[in-house]
């Protein structure tokens, strides 16, 4: 069956040209609601967007981290329009309250961007059931699915209620003028490399992130009647506390991505209202060169025609290129591991021990 090129039928922009600059100041005066924004790269989003003049409403289950982040960011940036609202994304009414409060706190009474960022990882019970000696199996703990899938569905549903009600906003389009008008209707989904590749020993996480990919692919084909633009970030393992000690052990000797690159990719999406229906993957920062056959190869910085990058277009227009993308990125990651050698492995093991005993950031 021939591939269906959805980009011809919907409002979807061409692949993101990462060489084209954007201005983070384009987020100025936008009201951005972000779930799970109290730590990790969610907190990175908050700091960067607040610095550039956005109003931020953080919804998170951790009151201590959320209030602490708000205090720090207000002090660092002088931006008083940074707010925290307690929210358990697995509870419908909790998210309803978050969105209502975000609209109330918004200087213009609306929400420009919703970032469905909340997510967790951890020990997965699917392959490790408890109570094997019991008369019948106890109910499993599907918290990872509840947060990473059901929570995202709640956030998405509420975004589709509130975004079209953003005062003075106009329908999304590739001909919009970012920076010229701050009113937007944007949903940014947080997927993962686990959205497009297997996640060994984490079936709930892998299933949830595959679900986010499916949600994205469906929404971007049908969101234009509401004038909403939908984009997605797919980070690789990023060096944050969500990466478990077990995962760090398995990854030792390779390389993880950095929060700043996830923030960069997310800011491009939020700031540039001309980008519709695209996905970006974020991994380790590497120096690569593309050969004539399209293969990306890890090379030294001095090689002519090479460039440094941590962000990759995921070819979301029809997904014909997903397998090719995975082949290329795995080749690059294997090259990084070989280049770092035993010293890189030992360094990562020390970090893993530090995170295990609470010394990680």
Positions marked catalytic? 205, 209
Residues 10, 273 contacting (CB under 8 angstroms): no
What is the sign, positive or negative, of the torsion defined by CA atoms of 47, 257, 153, 90?
negative
Structure tokens at 151: 């929570």
Residue among 331, 275, 333 nearest 18 (CA): 275
Burial of 260 (0-12, 13-18, 19+ CB in 10 A): middle
Per-residue three-class SS string for the chain: CCCCCHHHCCCCCCCCCCCCCCCHHHHCCCEEEEECCCCHHHHHHHHHHHHCCCEEEEEECCHHHHHHHHHHHHHHHCCCCEEEEECCCCCHHHHHHHHHHHHHHCCCCCCCEEEECCCCCCCCCCCCCCCCCCCCCCCCCCHHHHHHHHHHHHHHHHHHHHHHHCCCCCCCCCCCCCCCCCCCCEEEEECCHHHCCCCCCCHHHHHHHHHHHHHHHHHHHHCHHHCCEEEEEEECCECCCCCCHHHHHHHCCCCCECHHHHHHHHHHHHHCCCCCCCEEEEEEEEEEEECCCCCEEECCCCCCCCEEEEEEECCCCCCCCHHHHHHHHHHHHHHHHHHHHHHHHHHHHHHHHHHHCCCCC
Residues 183, 247 contacting (CB under 8 angstroms): no
Between vectors from CA 238 to CA 240 and to CA 336, what angle results, nearest 5°?
130
């Amino acid at each position: 069956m021939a591939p269906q090129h959805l980009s011809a039928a919907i409002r979807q922009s061409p692949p993101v040209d990462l060489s084209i600059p954007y201005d983070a100041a384009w987020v100025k005066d936008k009201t951005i609601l972000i779930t799970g924004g109290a730590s990790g790269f969610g907190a990175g989003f908050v700091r960067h967007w607040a610095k550039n003049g956005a109003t931020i409403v953080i919804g998170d289950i951790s009151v201590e981290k959320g209030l602490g982040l708000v205090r720090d960011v207000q002090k660092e940036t002088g931006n008083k329009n940074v707010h925290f609202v307690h929210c358990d994304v697995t509870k419908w009414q909790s998210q309803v309250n978050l969105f209502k409060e975000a609209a109330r706190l918004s200087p213009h009474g609306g929400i420009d961007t919703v970032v469905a960022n909340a997510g967790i990882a951890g020990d997965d019970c699917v392959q490790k059931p408890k109570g094997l000696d019991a008369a019948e199996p106890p109910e499993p703990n599907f918290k990872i699915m509840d947060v990473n899938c059901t929570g995202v569905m709640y956030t998405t549903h509420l975004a589709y209620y509130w975004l079209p009600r953003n005062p003075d906003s106009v329908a999304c389009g590739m001909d919009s003028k970012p920076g010229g008008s701050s009113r937007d209707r944007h949903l940014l989904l947080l997927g993962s490399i686990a959205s497009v590749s297997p996640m060994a020993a984490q079936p709930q996480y892998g299933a949830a992130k595959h679900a986010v990919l499916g949600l994205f692919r469906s929404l971007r084909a049908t969101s234009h009647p509401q004038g909403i633009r939908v984009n997605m970030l797919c980070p690789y393992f990023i060096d944050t506390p969500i990466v478990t000690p077990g995962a760090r052990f398995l990854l030792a000797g390779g390389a993880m991505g950095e929060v700043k690159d996830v923030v960069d990719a997310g800011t491009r999406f939020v700031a540039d209202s001309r980008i519709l229906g695209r996905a970006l993957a974020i991994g380790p920062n590497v120096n690569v060169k593309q050969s004539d056959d399209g293969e990306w190869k890890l090379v030294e910085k001095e090689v002519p025609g090479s460039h440094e990058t941590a962000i990759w277009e995921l070819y979301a227009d029809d997904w014909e290129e997903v397998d090719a993308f995975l082949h290329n990125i795995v080749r690059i990651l294997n090259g990084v591991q070989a280049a770092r050698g035993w010293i890189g492995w030992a360094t990562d093991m020390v970090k893993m021990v530090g995170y295990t005993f609470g010394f990680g950031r």
